[in-house]
Amino acid sequence: MTLVNTGAWYTMNTIFLQLAFNGLVSGLLLALLAAGFNLIFNTTRVFHIAHGSFYVGGAYAFYAILQLFSNQSLFFVLLSAFAALLIVMLFASMIEALIYQPLARKKSGQAITLISSMGVYLFMINGIALLFGNETKILELPLGGSIFLANVAIAPIQLVQLAVSLIFLGGVLFISKTKWFLGVRAMMSNESVASVLGVNTTMIRLLAISIGSALAAIAAILTLYDTGVDPQAGMAITLSSAVAVIIGGSLSLRGTILASVVIALLQTATAWFLSSQWKEGMTFVLLILVFFWRTEGIVSYKMRVEEQ
């Protein structure tokens, strides 16, 4: 986040507007990740720490494929993005088929799947670092300088991020209204009953984890053009999205998106008023406060007594 001084003097008001805009854009990016985390968490019941490794993996796959082409025109960018998404979805399905699915068949609890997910995270992050090195990868967007709207500086990449994340969030919300998603909802409330009633839970798990990971990869590619991605960035980003899911009320997609924006606004404000190193700490202070006073999250469904 940079404020470009163009000679205009900034009032407190413009700073707040600028912070709000930056927070909104990064909030929507975080919402992409968090929506993916939410899908995976609710269908597979795995606390998917490895989400961050798919984020990093998506960014690096995109970077590596883009380097193959001499020409970085829009067509090739889209082509590489598509290929990167396919790779990420393939890997996610492999993880699901090889690790999460067998564990679920053994009726393992959340502690055990969480630990296996930690293992996947360590494995993938170190694999990526082994293949591509530990440096931050960053790409330049071949577009002009910032646009000014009511003294608020808007970088071109922010507009792209805003548009793409809105499109995909809209897509996710649209999917959540379709008939197919009813099966997912049934699975969220009771997996074994849903499977007895003919919902193909195996397929839904597979689809949810690939779509969720693809959403993470999209957010990663958008970040690659902005601040860059390094292998260690995965953990912080998973934790932020997990916090968004928990704070937003883990069953509600809209709550997750709302909470992501709230978290991003908090992080932007923290980075501006304190320092960017306090961002994560503040996110988790928020998590603990929500835990103590509103365990079910901001947006919550009423549950029947026996479900609580």
Partner 1 sequence: MNYLLHILVMAEIYIILGLAMNLLAGYSGLLSVSQAAFYGIGAYAAALLLVNTGYSFPIVLVGAIVINMIACIPVIAFSIRFRDLFFVLATLAWQVIIFTVLYNWVSVTNGPYGISGIPKPVIFGYQFESLPQFALLAGALCALVLLFFYGLHNSPLSRYFQGVRDDQLTMLSFGKKPGYYKAIAISISSGVSAIAGTLFACYYSYIDPTSFTMDESILIISIVLIGGLGTLRGSVAGALFYVLLPEVLRFVNVPDAFASNLRMMIYALILILMVMFRPYGFFGNYRFE
Q: Which of 284, 294, 301, 303 binds partner 1 (CB under 8 A)?
A: 284
> From residue 129 to residue 158, what is the string marking binding to partner 1 with x (rule CB under 8 A)?
xx----------------------------
Q: CA triplet 251, 257, 261: central angle to 5 degrees? A: 140
Q: Rounded to the nearest whole angstrom, what is the least distance from the CB of residue 288 to partner 1 in the complex? A: 5
259 binds partner 1 (CB under 8 A): no
> From residue 47 to residue 86, what is the string marking binding to partner 1 with x (rule CB under 8 A)?
x---------------------------------------
Q: Rounded to the nearest whole angstrom, what is the least distance from the CB of residue 145 to partner 1 in the complex? A: 33
Give me the sign of the Cα torsion angle 149, 155, 156, 159.
negative
Give the up-direction half-sphere exposure of residue 305: CA atoms within 13 A in the CB hemisphere: 0
Instruction: Indicate the residue among 221 and 235 with the shorter CB distance to partner 1.
Output: 235
Instruction: Indicate the residue among 110 and 227 with the shorter CB distance to partner 1.
Output: 110
Q: Which of 288, 302, 304, 307 binds partner 1 (CB under 8 A)?
A: 288
Give the up-direction half-sphere exposure of residue 171: CA atoms within 13 A in the CB hemisphere: 12
Q: Rounded to the nearest whole angstrom, what is the least distance from the CB of residue 127 to partner 1 in the complex? A: 6
The footprint of partner 1 on this chain (CB under 8 A) covers a number of residues equal to: 39
Q: Rounded to the nearest whole angstrom, what is the least distance from the CB of residue 44 to partner 1 in the complex? A: 14
Task: State the SS3 of the chain.
Answer: CCCCCCCCCCCHHHHHHHHHHHHHHHHHHHHHHHHHHHHHHHHHCCCCCCHHHHHHHHHHHHHHHHHHCCCCCHHHHHHHHHHHHHHHHHHHHHHHHHHHHHHHHCCCCHHHHHHHHHHHHHHHHHHHHHHHCCCCECCCCCCCCCEEECCEEECHHHHHHHHHHHHHHHHHHHHCCCCHHHHHHHHHHCHHHHHHCCCCHHHHHHHHHHHHHHHHHHHHHHHHCCCCECCCHHHHHHHHHHHHHHHCCCCCHHHHHHHHHHHHHHHHHHHHHCCHHHHHHHHHHHHHHHHHHCCCCCCCCCCCHHHC
Residues in the chain: 308
Instruction: Indicate the residue among 79 and 114 with the shorter CB distance to partner 1.
Output: 114
Q: Which of 285, 294, 301, 303 binds partner 1 (CB under 8 A)?
A: 285
Q: Which of 188, 233, 287, 299 binds partner 1 (CB under 8 A)?
A: 287
Stretch that binds partner 1, among 63-71, 139-147, 199-207, 239-247 (CB under 8 A): 239-247
Residues in 90-109 that interact with partner 1 by CB under 8 A: 99, 102-103, 108-109
Residues in 108-127 that interact with partner 1 by CB under 8 A: 108-112, 114-116, 118-123, 126-127
Instruction: Indicate the residue among 111 and 305 with the shorter CB distance to partner 1.
Output: 111
CB 139 within 8 A of CB 63: yes
Residues that bind partner 1 (CB under 8 A): 47, 99, 102-103, 108-112, 114-116, 118-123, 126-127, 129-130, 235, 239, 242, 246, 275, 277-278, 280-281, 283-285, 287-288, 291-292, 295
